[in-house]
């Protein structure tokens, strides 16, 4: 897994600073096509929140979905939405669940395109 892009945001609440990181990930997944393993590029998202008090990280929360879609632009649009709404890692799956279910078909489409080449 490789981090392609990283968006960061700082939010301060009373004496706690929250550092948010929204990362675009790239990885390879292996699927069977005609009983042969085939590598497909996949894009995913990782969100990390660091809670900082008096310049010391006191807590880190992180969640990740490695394979959302083989289409980078779709995953980048999701990251933008998460970033703009300061979504916490705790709520990432709640927000992305329907998109992930919808975008899974992108992998099937890619396999069909590979099969016709």
Q: Give the residue extent of every domain in the chain.
A: 2-116
Beta strands in 1-115 (DSSP E): 2-13, 16-33, 36-53, 56-69
CB 106 within 8 A of CB 69: yes
Cβ neighbors of 52 (< 8 A, separation 6 or more) are 16, 17, 18, 19, 58
Question: Of 27-36, 52-61, 82-91, which range is least confident?
Answer: 27-36
Both tokens of 104, joined, read 């899974």
**Across-strand partners of 42?**
27
Confidence class for position 43, pLDDT limits 50, 70, 90: very high
For residue 4, name the pLDDT band (cuts at 50, 70, 90): very high
pLDDT at 117: 56
Q: pTM of the prediction?
A: 0.90
- Contact indicator for 104, 42 with CB cutoff of 8 Å: no
Give the pLDDT band (50/70/90) at residue 45: very high
Residue 115 has pLDDT above 70, yes or no: no
Residues 47-86 pLDDT 10s: 999 999 999 999 999 999 999 999 999 999 999 999 999 9
Burial 25-61 (b: 16+ CB within 10 A, else e): bbeeeeeeeeeeeeebebbbbbbbbbebeeeeeeeee
Token reading at 115: 């099969």
């Amino acid at each position: 897994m490789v981090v392609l892009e990283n968006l960061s945001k700082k939010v301060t609440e009373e004496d706690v600073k929250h550092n948010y990181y929204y990362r675009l990930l790239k990885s390879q997944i292996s699927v069977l096509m005609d009983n042969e393993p085939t590598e497909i590029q996949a894009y995913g998202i990782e969100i990390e929140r660091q809670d900082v008090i008096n310049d010391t990280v006191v807590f880190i929360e992180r969640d990740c979905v490695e394979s959302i879609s083989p289409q980078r632009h779709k995953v980048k649009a999701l990251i933008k939405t998460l970033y703009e709404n300061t979504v916490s890692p705790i709520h990432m799956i709640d927000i992305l669940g329907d998109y992930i279910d919808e975008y899974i078909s992108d992998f099937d489409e890619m396999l069909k395109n590979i099969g016709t080449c």
